[in-house]
Amino acid sequence: MPSVADSEPKALAFDVFGTVVDWHAGVTQEAALLAARHHIEGDWPAFANDWRSGYAPAMARVRSGELPWTHIDALHRMNLEQIIDTHGLGQLDEAERRQLNLAWHRLPLWPDTMAGLQRLKSRFTLTTLSNGNFSLLTELAKHNGLPWDCVISAELFGHYKPDPETYLGCAKLLDLAPQDLMLVACHPSDLRAARACGLRTAYVRRPFEHGLVTIEPAIESGEFDLLAENFEHLADLLRVP
């Protein structure tokens, strides 16, 4: 197999939740702030993980056709309603629930995200390729000043990752062959689906995606083109100064 150094990708597509932004910290903090206002005590890191754990199953219901196309803001809200009482937040009113749901539009970056992306942008076209809805991704980018060249969401294809329509649709919108596009993600399942579509793949470690109690996913040696510790290291591996 040719190495990445032999023929570089032309564009990098980034998974967002967990890969670019620290959803765990962002959701934990917004829940804790709202709870403090009401003098509610709770385990907000556990709340964040509970909320997130409904994400893949909800998308699976869309992917299977059980639910019609439903964007992530709506799936997040649906999942929030299912866990809000359990975590003692049942007294939040509609405006507060809506505000909490929009925590996903304001998530903080990992410490290496901005510096890494700025380096990578000098050489590659940078896009998102996320299941987050288009407006969520656009607001998240504006909130953080992310230097994307464009925003691409699963919403544009009416399919959620890991459906092949998303990876191939992204390449098509950028007018690239699949092998000229590299997916950057911290989730092996996402990368495996992209690889099956002919994309290049860069795995980035995000050991704290779910907070300090970390379970790192198992990956096989050689299954991805690049293994990076963070975005600065990814820029090093792609030999971008």
Judged by the rule CB under 8 A, the positions of this chain that interact with a second copy are 73, 125, 127, 133-135, 137-139, 141-142, 148-151, 155-156, 173-176
Minimum distance from residue 27 beta carbon to a second copy (Å) = 20
DSSP of 175-224: T--GGGEEEEES-HHHHHHHHHTT-EEEEE--TTTT-SS--PPP--TTSS
User: Of the two residues 143 and 233, which places its CB atom closer to a second copy in the complex?
Assistant: 143
Minimum distance from residue 103 beta carbon to a second copy (Å) = 16
Is the separation of the CB atoms in 228 and 237 below 8 Å? yes
Minimum distance from residue 210 beta carbon to a second copy (Å) = 28
Residue 26 CB partners (closer than 8 Å, separation 6+): 103, 104, 106, 107, 108
Minimum distance from residue 6 beta carbon to a second copy (Å) = 24
User: Of the two residues 55 and 134, which places its CB atom closer to a second copy in the complex?
Assistant: 134
Is the separation of the CB atoms in 117 and 126 below 8 Å? yes
Q: Mutual orientation of helices 55-63 and 72-83 as an angle, nearest 10°?
A: 130
Q: Mutual orientation of helices 134-144 and 72-83 as an angle, nearest 10°?
A: 90
User: Of the two residues 175 and 220, which places its CB atom closer to a second copy in the complex?
Assistant: 175
User: Of the two residues 152 and 191, which places its CB atom closer to a second copy in the complex?
Assistant: 152
Minimum distance from residue 155 beta carbon to a second copy (Å) = 7
User: Of the two residues 45 and 116, which places its CB atom closer to a second copy in the complex?
Assistant: 116
Instruction: Take residue 140 and report the two structure tokens written for it.
Output: 């998240």
- Cα dist. 232→23, 71, 112 in Å? 20, 32, 6
